[in-house]
Amino acid sequence: METIATRPKSLTDLQFTYCPGCLHGVAHRLIAEVMDELDMRDNTMGVAPVGCSVFAYKFFNCDMAEAAHGRAPAVATGMKRARPSMHVFTYQGDGDLAAIGTAEIIHAANRGEKITRFFVNNAIYGMTGGQMAPTSLPGMKTSTSPYGRDTDDVGFPIKVSELMSALEAPYYIERVSLLTPQDIIKAKKAVRKALLFNKEGRGFSMVEFLSTCPTNWGLDAIESLEWAKENMLPYFPLGVYRDKSVEEA
Amino acid sequence: MGEKVLMKGNEAVAEAAIRAGCRLYFAYPITPQSELIEYMARMMPKVDGTFLQASSEVAAINMVYGAAGCGRRVMTSSSSPGISLKMEGISYLAGANLPSVIVNVQRGGPGLGDIQPAQGDYFQATKGGGHGDYRLIVLAPSSVQEFADSASDAFDLADKYRIPVMILADGLLGQMMEPVEFKPAKTEAELAELDKQHLDWAMYQNKPEPNHHHHEINSLEIDPHELEKHVLKLDQKYKLIQKNEVKHEEYNVNEDNEILCVAFGTASRIVKSAIDQLKKEGHNVGLVRPITVWPYPSEAVLNAVSKNVKKVVVFELNLGQMVEDVRLAVNGKVPVDFMGKVGGLVFTPEEVKTKIEENL
Ligand SMILES: Cc1ncc(C[n+]2csc(CCOP(=O)(O)OP(=O)(O)O)c2C)c(N)n1
Ligand code: SF4
């Protein structure tokens, strides 16, 4: 019998702990597939965040560190500096990266740390039960913005890829979506570029995934995909925000 | 052994750390420890080491977490307000069993306080500071020589027990110049050995098996029974450290002491001058100086309360922190008195002498 799909060896055989319809698992799988394809696993170390993907340190089958909330970029910096021959990636949610860890992420990017950042933007705090995130959309109701996000009061959602692309050092920044099969194919290409640039030691690379949180959005899996397409895509435009490989070519 | 050189404490501890094999250093500037970060900025590139000025103490301590997780000798330093910021990371280092060295060149507090020497972070260093049940080994040097020596001791202890070790100095020790003799620098072969010592658990080119054998640096145990096991295991380590690693110095401690003093770090130097002066005037006063303030030399303090000791007097550059450990150690055998100085001020030998005389 021919095997046409197996679990990537860069994932352990543990069951994901994500809710049905959650796209964290899809993001994990894309990263692991590319790690396999680029034969990177044995020389890769990752950093898991605090958030729903906290157990990423168990799911990815390479050496992994579990960081304090928001500190993954600093932890990854220490790892990369300690073992420069290794490839280092981080995986963070929007609360982790764009609220509590804003300083760490900006400065790691600004230094051009030769690491890859995977950023899962689901516009909400998943793990703690659906509070407002720095990326929650204007008017969006969450448990800490029960009347809808009031931009006069708490400002606008942070566009992380745009913000990072204001810095000189980052090598590659792209925002992709996980909302349709076609989008997932495109997302994998971005993951591949990011990890390849990492493997080649070119510089800081980041992929922002537009994702969902059916559980805390109070929608089912299909509805949440639709909601994200209608609400997130217009606010967070997909695309390449930085690609120095093109400039170099 | 090399010749003696005249050096500031902040620079001596940095030089000693490099000689002890520290090749990664992450920190954020703050007075009165800036000479330390500046020395590292100059010297680390010369030994192919990493110097990185982090965006905050929070970032610095988490860089330490990452580098320590890779099994390498790594250090950070700061002064009181910056150490407060590091507390989250220190708790994670302790929880994840990561060897690392943190230097606190204490200044006056609370809040922004001032930039003068103080010992107000004793509680923070020895009783927690960060969240959860954890301990640090805390070394309290009292001279530039000892400050320098504490660096290699700290790295050795950190590696031996897989624990963060704090060197609790103060602004005076950091700023003052004294002759210091350094231990020889680690050779290439020794450095290579150091690099290998943690590969059985650290992150680095570990070849994971399909059945989940990669290395994890982690302090999370979501199952309460697993967390209980983890914390109790940490506690066993702490008990072992309490048994094996307590260090103190005795100064003029004898069977005929009338008063026993207890002081650590800079404060102990002033107490020694007062004791010398009192000796000339015919009074027999002893001093126990804890070198490890955690684990605390409780037994040594109690044993030094000999039959003629009327009182124990504790001197600290704070409002009375270590005195609580002294009271626990003495356990009511004799009264315990206290003299403190705050604001970044340091008591004079005369003030200390007067305080002792009041108790004679
Ligand atoms: C210092 C600290 N503050 C708060 C928390 C609680 N906390 C855990 S996860 C989280 C938010 C995670 O949200 P996000 O990063 O968006 O990830 P998601 O769960 O949505 O994937 C918070 C606030 C914590 N663990 N540590
Ligand atoms: S709470 Fe949301 S983000 Fe977290 S696993 Fe469930 S669906 Fe995914």
Strand partners for B189: none
Is residue A3 in a domain?
A: no
Residue B294 has phi, psi (to 5 degrees) of: -140, 125
Residue to mutate among B25, B55, B86, B194, with most A CBs inside 10 A, is B55
- Side by side, the strands of the sheet bearing A44-48 are A239-243, A172-177, A205-210, A115-121, A87-93, A44-48, A63-66, B216-217
Number of domain units in chain B: 2
Strands B292-294 and B137-139: antiparallel
Query: Which residues on chain A are in Cβ contact (under 8 Å) with B92?
Result: 67-68
Cα distance from B359 to chain A (closest Cα, Å)? 50
Q: Looking at B196, B223, B239, which one is the last position of a domain? A: B196
Which residues form the domain of B348?
A: 249-359
A52 lines ligand 1 (CB under 6 A): yes
The atom number, within ligand 1, closest to the CA of A24 reads: 21
In a domain, A14, yes or no: no
Residue closest by Cα to atom 2 of ligand 2: A213
- Please check whether residues B24 and B169 belong to one and the same domain: yes
**Does residue B76 sit in the same domain as residue B188?**
yes
> What string of DSSP letters covers A211-239?
---HHHHT--HHHHHHHHHHHHHHHS--E
Encode pLDDT of B1-30 as tens digits.
578 999 999 999 999 999 999 999 999 999
Nearest ligand, CA of residue A128? Answer: 1
Domain's final residue, options B196, B218, B235: B196
Residue A8 placed within a domain: no
In a domain, A9, yes or no: no
Instruction: Give the mutation candidate from A9, A36, A43, A45 for the B interface (greatest B CB count, under 10 A).
Output: A45
Q: How far is the CA of B290 from the centre of ligand 1 (A)?
A: 41
Q: Which residues pair with A64 in a beta bridge?
A: A46, B216
Q: Write down the pTM of the prediction.
A: 0.97
Let me know if residue A19 belongs to a domain.
Answer: no
B192 in the same domain as B260: no
ipTM reported for the complex, 2 dp: 0.96
Q: Could you give the number of structural domains in chain A?
A: 1
B49 & B170 share domain: yes
For residue A68, the enclosing domain spans 24-248
Instruction: Give B49 to chain A, closest Cα distance, Å.
Output: 9
In short, whether A215's Cβ falls inside 6 Å of ligand 2 is yes
Q: Is residue B202 part of a domain?
A: no
Buried b (16+ CB within 10 A) or exposed e, B89-100: bbbbbbbbbbbb
- The CATH number of whichever domain residue B48 belongs to comes to 3.40.50.970
CB contact under 8 A, B24 and A58: no
CA A39 to CA A47: how far, in whole Å?
19
* pLDDT(B257) > 60: yes
Residue B123 C-alpha, separation from nearest chain A C-alpha, in angstroms: 24
Report percent pLDDT > 90 for chain B.
95
Which atom of ligand 2 lies at the shortest distance from residue A21's CA? 7
Does the CB atom of residue A133 touch ligand 1 within 6 A? Answer: yes
What are A127-185's pLDDT values in tens digits?
A: 999 999 999 999 999 999 999 999 999 999 999 999 999 999 999 999 999 999 999 99
CATH number (domain holding residue A103): 3.40.50.970
User: What is the model's pLDDT at position A249?
Assistant: 86
Is residue A5 a part of any domain in this protein?
no
Same domain membership, residue B177 and residue B50: yes
Domain assignment present for A97: yes
In a domain, B16, yes or no: yes
DSSP, collapsed to helix, strand or coil, labels residue B138 as strand
Residue B30 shares a structural domain with residue B92: yes
Chain B residues touching A66 at Cβ < 8 A = 96, 216-220
Within-domain flag for B315: yes
Same domain, B18 and B148: yes
Q: Please report whether residue B344 resides in a domain.
A: yes
* Whether B58 and B187 share a structural domain: yes
Q: What is d(CA B165, CA B139) in angstroms, rounded to the nearest whole number?
A: 8
Based on the fold, state whether residues B174 and B96 are members of the same structural domain: yes
How close does chain A come to B60, measured CA to CA in Å?
Answer: 7
Q: Which of B131, B166, B196 is the last residue of a domain?
A: B196
Please report whether residue B97 resides in a domain: yes
Query: B283 and B192, same structural domain?
Result: no
- Could you list the pLDDT tens digit for every one of the 249 residues in chain A? 677 678 999 999 999 999 999 999 999 999 999 999 999 999 999 999 999 999 999 999 999 999 999 999 999 999 999 999 999 999 999 999 999 999 999 999 999 999 999 999 999 999 999 999 999 999 999 999 999 999 999 999 999 999 999 999 999 999 999 999 999 999 999 999 999 999 999 999 999 999 999 999 999 999 999 999 999 999 999 999 999 999 888
The most distant pair of C-alpha atoms in chain A lies apart, rounded to whole Å, by 61
Do the domain assignments include residue A18?
no
Pocket test for ligand 1, best of A16, A28, A50, A215 (most atoms within 8 A of CB): A50
Q: Which residues of A touch B88 (CB under 8 A)?
A: 68
Residues B40 and B129 in one domain: yes
- A18 CB within 6 A, ligand 2: yes
- Verify that B172 and B265 share a domain, yes or no: no
**Within-domain flag for B210:** no
How many whole angstroms separate alpha carbon A124 and alpha carbon A53? Answer: 13
